[in-house]
Amino acid sequence: MNPKSKLYQPDHWRGRAEATRKKAEALADGKAKDRLLKIAEEYDKLARRAQVWQMHRNEDDTWPEQEL
């Protein structure tokens, strides 16, 4: 695990969610738009997980075993 990777940064996932929502807004109503909005929701979940991870990681950048 590389805690400095953007994959562990909540803002990375929030940015992806926002960009995905903008793409969805540009589409007419339909399956593609709905799918993009669901993807944005999943990015929001990843952002929340990254934030929790940052709050709970140990001083030595490892995840406590009971949290896995």
pLDDT, average across residues 3-13: 85
Q: How confident is the model at residue 68 (pLDDT cuts 50, 70, 90)?
A: very low
54 band by pLDDT with thresholds 50, 70 and 90: confident
Average pLDDT over residues 46-65: 75
Contact 2, 8 (CB under 8 A): yes
Residue 2 pLDDT: 65
CA pair distance 39, 42, nearest whole angstrom: 5
Tell me 4's DSSP state: T
